[in-house]
Amino acid sequence: MFPLGSVLSAELSRPWLWRGAGIAALIAVGLIAIPIVSSLAHEVRVGQLGAALLGPALSVMLTVGAVLGSFAFTADFRHGSLHRRVLLFSRAPIFASRAASTFLASMLAGGTVGTVLVLIMLLLGGHPTSFFAAGAFAGVAAVGSMWGFAVGSLVRDHLVAFFVVPLTLALPEFLAGAGITTGFFFPVLTSEWSTSVAEGRINSMPLLGSLCWLVLLLGSAGAVFSHRDLR
């Protein structure tokens, strides 16, 4: 079998990958459900509630997906299992396979979260076209995990990455408060295209910009991983 295929198969069979995706999905649902319950307690209309919470809910999913992605690297790096894989396979297939398996697991987690939220809104009397939201949540979780995976591979420290990864996603808000233009930053671009997908359309330019950020960051992280000492 081609080395990349064998490494990918091993990565997809890791129990932590799917447990982590499940935990991330539960955390995301819980964080998003809190304002829903609070708003319903104040008798907010479901239609207004769905529109108001769409952006924040996607931001939560992006952050949770990014943290899951960073843990996919830092957790195994901390325990040394990533070092043992380097002894069996070359670094490039390991990095690529770990990123691909994390992408798939995060997409499944995001799609599950989106589907659960859509069903909740429908049970509460929401509009059925909101099923587009499931795809938006799957996409935003997947790209978020790649962002977190790349940042985590550069930081390497498990605890530090837990704070640094969300900080990189929140950075545009701090810069915007200082009057700096942030429309070209990854979190802003991702928010634009994911919101458009959830509303049943696609905004291609923000999507392209978001993917360019990922290619640049993942390429840099992969190059660093291939040459940096595993210490």
Give mean pLDDT, residues 140-167. 94
Percent of the chain, pLDDT > 90? 46
Q: Which H or E run includes 1?
A: none
Over residues 162-207, the pLDDT tens digits come to: 999 999 999 998 888 787 888 899 999 999 999 898 888 888 899 9
Q: Is the pTM of this model over 0.85?
A: yes
Question: What type of residue is 159?
Answer: L
DSSP state of 79: H
Nearest CA-CA partner of 157 in 77, 65, 72, 67: 77
Residues of the domain holding 34? 3-227
Give the whole-angstrom CA distance, residue 41 versus residue 43.
Answer: 5
Over residues 71-120, the pLDDT tens digits come to: 999 988 877 677 677 666 678 888 888 899 999 999 999 999 998 888 87
Over residues 27-59, the pLDDT tens digits come to: 999 998 887 777 666 655 555 555 667 888 899
Give mean pLDDT, residues 14-22. 88
Give the whole-angstrom CA distance, residue 176 versus residue 39.
Answer: 28
When divided into structural domains, the chain yields a total of 1
